[in-house]
Amino acid sequence: MALTDEAITRIRGLIQSGELPPGARLPTEQQLSQELGLSRSGVREAVKVLEAARVLDVRRGDGTYVTSLAPRLLLQGLGVAVELLRDDTLLEVMEVRRMLEPVATGVAALRITDADVARLGEILEDMRGAAEDAEQLIRYDAAFHRTVIAVTGNETLTSLLDGLSGQTLRARVWRGLIEGGSAHVTLNEHEAIYLALRDRDQLLAQASALIHVNTSESWLRTVLAAAPRHQL
């Protein structure tokens, strides 16, 4: 493991220094081993780790390349990690969302286009039409928030918040809302966010998003409190 860790560090150093920029092809395993002064097995394992992290793209019969290193690619694993978190830790995820999402929504209010507003309006109508269908609501909810955050033009932020708002987390919140007969409350909150964005009102958009995240966090607490202890 120590040799693998060293090989990972050395290869990452080549990428960070620009010697191996995005899209560059790595030397062969033997050449890289000689250049780094490390065993071929250590280099081989390092490449596997970096491939799993989407830093490298191993193309069978062609070679190994540095990926685009785009945030959406490198942060893909975040969503998988969130899905594996224990219930008590999910509240920490909601806390992080509360720190980031309202501010991002405020920024979106300053950058949103008429086409974005129209798209959000369509999603909102879809949500209203699926008021009692949990699966549909989860899908439209994800699309609504992904569209809002994408308006910021910040790919890192979009990827980060997308990963923090996993399918399981949304499902638990919406299940609680529907079973509690309160789906209309969060639908109204989505409409408030939409109206603030339509009016390009940064402060109102930020406040509306904060209220919405707080509501989601409150329902998550309710769902977790009602869950059998063995699920925690």
The confidence score (pLDDT) of residue 232 equals: 41
Strand partners, 57: 65
Phi-psi region of 112 (alpha: psi -120 to 50; beta: other; left: phi over 0): beta
What parts of the chain have a pLDDT lower than 50?
A: 229-232
Q: What is the DSSP letter of 58?
A: E
CA distance 90 to 142: 17
* Packing angle, helices 134-150 and 167-179, rounded to 10: 130
Q: Closest Cα to residue 102, out of 152, 153, 159? A: 152
The confidence score (pLDDT) of residue 1 equals: 61
The confidence score (pLDDT) of residue 73 equals: 87
The confidence score (pLDDT) of residue 230 equals: 41
- Which residue in the block uniquely carries the two structure tokens 């995005």? 22
CA distance 86 to 223: 14
The confidence score (pLDDT) of residue 164 equals: 85
The confidence score (pLDDT) of residue 174 equals: 73
CA distance 58 to 48: 9
The residue type at 227: A
The confidence score (pLDDT) of residue 224 equals: 76
The confidence score (pLDDT) of residue 111 equals: 98
